[in-house]
């Protein structure tokens, strides 16, 4: 399912923003403009679906850190509001999910800075008017049953729980299950560890790996799956050769563990092990595993993928992004003007420039409706 639009209100530097989205979504801007907050708001939609929303907010400092701290209108509720719209292109069904979270009322139960989920709603549209599938207000949940009527769900949600996860785990609501599965399959890749103790530098258990884990811990298994299960490493070999001056990835047949190394043209008889590779080389390989895996996820989000890479590696990275865009939707946040140009030329898209407008994050040239001035 394609993510068609997203909106965020009162989250960090996102005062109120809505964006229409396409197959490749490229965001470029200076430090402090709020690019990572856009990325993070989308990640929080997935956290709500997975049931980890409260933990994610708490991990970034609680509601005190997550809420917009600029000016508000008088009597405006202090709430983070996130919304995502997905389109099932095969069945022509649109899914819309919204979540609102705020602070704990002074006299209520709960911890002071954990998010209190105030409202949620999931609706579907098949060409006629939208139909509400689930609606939550406070702890109470209403859900459309098998007869097509809204009925009260017998269990109330804790203030830190999301109804979308609670009902999805129940297994009785196919529309909720479909939406949850789609969003749960998104992958967010940022900040791969490349130090000496990084999992990227270690062998991993030899288990078939169609997708890269978000921490990259199964990278060797991803390479082994391409080499020995799919027996097709053409795209991977091309990317490695382009990035490393003709080098070749070495992937021995796994036994108990999967491993990999690099063979460089000047030392054809020697396999350089991961512990010997530079941070930039390891990071590029992790991006290759994310973008060229056996099975690509419906959405791949990359946050500053150019970090630690030599500028000469950026064309090869852009080629991998273009290759992944054939089967996945891409969300790319970057500081690099060169990477933005390389992706633009290969994917036929225009980068969205993230700026600050009246203290809030905004997209240069975007209308309030979420459309860009040059969409025509």
CB proximity list for 97: less than 8 A, separation 6 or greater:
45, 48, 49, 83, 84, 86, 120, 121, 122, 164, 179, 183
Domains along the sequence of the chain with CATH: 2-16+43-186 (no CATH), 188-347 (3.40.50.300)
Sorting pLDDT into bands at 50, 70 and 90, what band is 107? very low
Around 71, how many Cα atoms within 13 Å sit in the side-chain half-sphere?
Answer: 3
Please give the mean pLDDT across all residues of the chain. 93
- pLDDT for residue 212: 97
Residue 148: is its pLDDT beyond 60? yes
- Give yes or no for residue 109 having a pLDDT over 80: no
Kindly state the average pLDDT of the residues 330-348: 97
pLDDT bracket for residue 108 (50, 70, 90):
low
**pTM of the full predicted structure?**
0.92
For residue 27, pLDDT over 50 is answered with yes
Rg (CA), the chain: 22
Of 49, 38, 58, which Cα lies nearest the Cα of 116?
A: 58
User: pLDDT by residue (tens digit) across 213-239?
Assistant: 999 999 999 999 999 999 999 999 999
Q: Which two tokens stand for residue 168?
A: 């999805």
For residue 131, list its beta bridge partners.
Answer: 124
Mean pLDDT in residue range 110-131: 86
């Amino acid at each position: 399912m394609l993510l068609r639009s997203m909106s965020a209100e009162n989250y960090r530097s996102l005062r109120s923003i809505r964006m229409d989205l396409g197959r490749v979504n490229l965001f470029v801007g200076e430090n402090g403009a709020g690019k990572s907050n856009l990325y993070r708001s989308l990640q929080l939609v997935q956290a709500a679906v997975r049931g980890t929303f409260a933990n994610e907010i708490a991990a970034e400092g609680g509601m005190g850190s997550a809420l917009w701290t600029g000016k508000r209108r008088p009597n405006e509720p202090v709430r983070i509001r996130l919304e995502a719209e997905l389109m099932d292109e095969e069945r022509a069904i649109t899914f819309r999910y919204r979540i609102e979270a705020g602070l704990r009322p002074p006299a209520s139960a709960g911890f002071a800075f954990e998010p209190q989920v105030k409202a949620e709603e999931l609706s579907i549209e098949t060409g006629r008017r939208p139909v509400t599938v689930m609606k939550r207000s406070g702890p109470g949940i209403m859900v459309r049953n098998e007869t097509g009527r809204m009925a009260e769900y017998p269990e109330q949600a804790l203030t830190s729980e999301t109804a979308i996860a609670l009902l999805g785990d129940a297994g009785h609501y196919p529309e909720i299950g479909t939406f949850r599965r789609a969003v749960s399959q998104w992958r967010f890749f940022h900040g791969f560890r490349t130090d000496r103790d990084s999992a990227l530098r270690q062998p991993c258990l030899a288990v078939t790996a169609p997708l890269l884990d978000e921490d990259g811990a199964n990278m060797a298994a991803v390479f082994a799956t391409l080499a020995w299960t799919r027996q097709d490493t053409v795209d991977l070999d091309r990317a490695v050769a382009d990035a490393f001056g003709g080098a070749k990835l070495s992937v021995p047949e796994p036994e108990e563990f999967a491993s990999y190394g690099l063979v460089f043209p000047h030392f054809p008889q020697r396999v350089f092990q991961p512990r010997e590779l530079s941070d930039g080389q390891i990071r590029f390989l992790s991006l290759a595993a994310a973008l060229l895996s056996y099975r690509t996820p419906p959405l791949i989000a990359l946050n500053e993928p150019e970090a630690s890479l030599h500028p000469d590696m950026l064309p090869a990275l852009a080629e991998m992004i273009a290759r992944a865009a054939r089967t996945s939707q891409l969300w790319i946040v970057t500081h690099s003007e060169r990477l933005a140009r390389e992706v633009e030329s290969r994917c036929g898209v225009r980068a969205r420039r993230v700026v600050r407008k009246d203290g809030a994050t905004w997209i240069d040239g975007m209308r309030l409706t979420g459309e860009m001035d040059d969409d025509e």
